[in-house]
Amino acid sequence: MLNGYARVSTTGQDLETQKEILEKEGCEKLFVEKVTGTSTKQRAQLYEAIEFAREGDTLVVTEIDHLARSIMDLNKIVHESAEKGVNVRFVKLLFKE
């Protein structure tokens, strides 16, 4: 199963574009939140997405920086997912400067 995760950090940013991309990628369930990306501690939908995923599922995210803001966070999230047999896939691999 493909599950999508979308995040923006401010209320002025738009989640709709991310949601549309994830739906076009074939995601059956979306986890969406408006919360800062500086820490994963406040990101309830991220933890719900990881908890929801089952072995063989894929967590799809539009861009790396929507999932993690540091290499340490990215490593932790991908490692936790991999331990469950869940893949993580990014639609766009470009970092913003």
Q: Are 45 and 5 in contact (CB under 8 A)?
A: yes
CB proximity list for 97: less than 8 A, separation 6 or greater: none
> Using one digit for the tens of pLDDT, what is the confidence trace for 21-62?
999 999 999 999 988 766 667 789 999 999 999 999 999 999
Would you kindly state where each structural domain of the chain is located, as residue ranges? 2-92
Is pTM beyond 0.95 here? no
Q: Between 2 and 13, where is the model more confident?
A: 2
- For tokens 């997405």, name the residue: 49
Active site residue: 9, 39, 70, 81, which one? Answer: 9
* Residue 9 annotated as catalytic: yes
The per-residue DSSP string of 43-68 comes to -HHHHHHHHH--TT-EEEEEEHHHH-
Indicate the SS3 state at residue 37.
coil
- Domain 2-92: state its class: alpha beta
